[in-house]
Structure 1
């Protein structure tokens, strides 16, 4: 996949910091959510270490002609203006229906109060908007790729104590 010009400096800095990384592991450059405010808010949650997961509908990957993320993929997270924030590595992907997402996953996704109730309400609204944009109707059985990741660049600062 071609690396967008706006993220190339961060991508090349990452490659220079790690010996022997296969450049074909690059998956995409993206921002989270479907609005500028959401992209900026969720990007900051990633940088702070609170957000360590995301979920995408399988059919949206198919509609976009993209493969489902897989363990080892590397992506550049950007803010709403396309400014690169960090490089993440996918560490796990589980394929599950919306109504079977667990409280553990909701907590790792780190949005709102990190509860399963919040996750379901916020993601039901998000996936309903996404479905509507393709003249589809949201269903609780919508199949998701529940992706867990870690920030690999820049190296997160660990809190002492």
Structure 2
């Protein structure tokens, strides 16, 4: 059975979560090497592998096991009609981040949306842009090194 373009993009969405959860920031930077990360209004805050790696390394609190002790779930991915451009795909996904700090309870931490644009380069799909929106926010004090709400 062959994978569709949508399957390949959904795989990239899953790989992103796995890399964040493993605190593999160098691999995350490589995954997002061609991408621009933006807030939900479109204001960029990291572009390219080095900036993406630095953003995640500087933003996430790591725990005794060397990870952020999170599990990212990406749900309900909806694709936009690509029109005439067969080498670009846009989609919106919902996400849920579960978190269990050292010695703490497992809890939902954060929900929101990813608005992603993917481009096919040299026959492979890659991230081109990600807009991250937050919807429901729990206690981020054991997860982030900054307050994203203000």
Q: TM-score band, normalised by the shorter chain? A: under 0.3
Flag the structure with higher helix content. 1
TM-score (norm 2): 0.26
Larger RCO (CA within 8 A; separation ≥ 6): 1
Higher normalized strand content (fraction of residues)? 2
